[in-house]
Amino acid sequence: MRTRLTMVMFSVVAFAQKASFEVASVKVNHRTVGLDYNNQLTISASRFVGRNVTLRRLIAEAYGVQLNQVAGPRWFDENEYDLDGSAGSEVSQDRMRSMLQTLLAERFHVWAHTEQRAMRAYELVVDKGGPKIAPAMNGVVAATDGGFHFHGGMRQLADLIAVQLTISAPTDPTRPATAVGPPAPVLDKTGLDGVYDFAVDIRAEPGGDIFTLWQRFAQERLGLKLESRRGLVPVVVVESAERTPEAN
């Protein structure tokens, strides 16, 4: 049974009163690359750039939620777009999201509302011993002798973990593991602000449990913990949207 506690409607008229990109370009990318390679985003304090990005990803970024918290039709994951928005100067993360919301309303005619739905989710929280990481200093980049490099805030880390938890243990050592199915939301409940920079060295093992591997890494290296729960999670429900964006 779905529980709806709040509903907020969004429209082009409402967004017109909010912040807008100084310059923005949105185009359909007819050379789709698919799930494992799309949604390439580069976000700075003054610019939002997406290559082969889906409308579901754009909506998730605009409202600060994850992919599984956006309810919409199948084509939200199939059509891919290139987007380049310039704010003209450095702006806050909230203002950048407001600019993206305006763009989605004006170019894709997105109508949506938010509501609370009961679903399984993970919460990323600070472990009992406290965090073992601190915000990155300017110019300092973490060493990556193994694994890969993470640079971002706790919400970006929660997004990464959500995708990682969908990756099944490999059965063929000659082929890389890939994500299978939509991720359960991982909600940032750490209360930690700032940008963090560290190496992530987690390797899936045949027959292994990716959740256990991430839990161990989070606790031992970051001082964080994943807690599983079922409860009310905010969901952006898209009432209508256009596949082809209005011309630039």
Q: Are the CB atoms for 60 and 67 separated by under 8 Å?
A: yes
Other Cβ atoms closer than 10 A to 243: 13
- What is the token pair recorded at 218? 């989070």
pLDDT band for position 145 (cuts 50, 70, 90): low
Q: What angle do CA 179, 188, 194 make, to 5 degrees?
A: 110
pLDDT in tens, 33-73: 988 789 999 988 899 999 999 999 999 999 989 888 999 99
Q: What pLDDT is stored for residue 109 in this prediction?
A: 97
Which residues contact residue 2 at a Cβ distance below 8 angstroms, ignoring those fewer than 6 apart?
117, 118
Query: Does residue 10 register a pLDDT over 70?
Result: no
User: b vs e for 206-234, b when ≥16 Cβ sit within 10 Å of the residue's Cβ?
Assistant: eeeebeebbbebbbeebbbbbeeeeeebb
Lowest mean pLDDT among 16-20, 27-31, 104-108, 134-138: 16-20
Query: Does residue 178 register a pLDDT over 50?
Result: no
Query: Does residue 22 register a pLDDT over 80?
Result: yes
Average pLDDT, the chain: 84
Cα 153 from Cα 147, distance rounded (Å): 19
Q: Can you list the positions of beta strands (E) in the chain?
A: 8-10, 23-28, 40-43, 47-53, 70-71, 81-86, 111-126, 148-152, 186-188, 196-200, 224-240
pLDDT band for position 149 (cuts 50, 70, 90): confident
Query: Does residue 173 register a pLDDT over 90?
Result: no
Q: What pLDDT is stored for residue 17 in this prediction?
A: 53
Query: Does residue 124 register a pLDDT over 50?
Result: yes
pLDDT band for position 97 (cuts 50, 70, 90): very high
Residue whose C-alpha is closest to residue 170's, from 203, 215, 205: 205
Other Cβ atoms closer than 10 A to 245: 21
Q: What pLDDT is stored for residue 223 in this prediction?
A: 97
Query: Does residue 4 register a pLDDT over 50?
Result: no
Kindly report the pTM of this predicted structure.
0.74
Q: Are the CB atoms for 142 and 149 separated by under 8 Å?
A: yes
Q: What pLDDT is stored for residue 169 in this prediction?
A: 53
Q: What pLDDT is stored for residue 143 in this prediction?
A: 58
pLDDT in tens, 197-223: 999 988 766 666 889 999 999 999 999
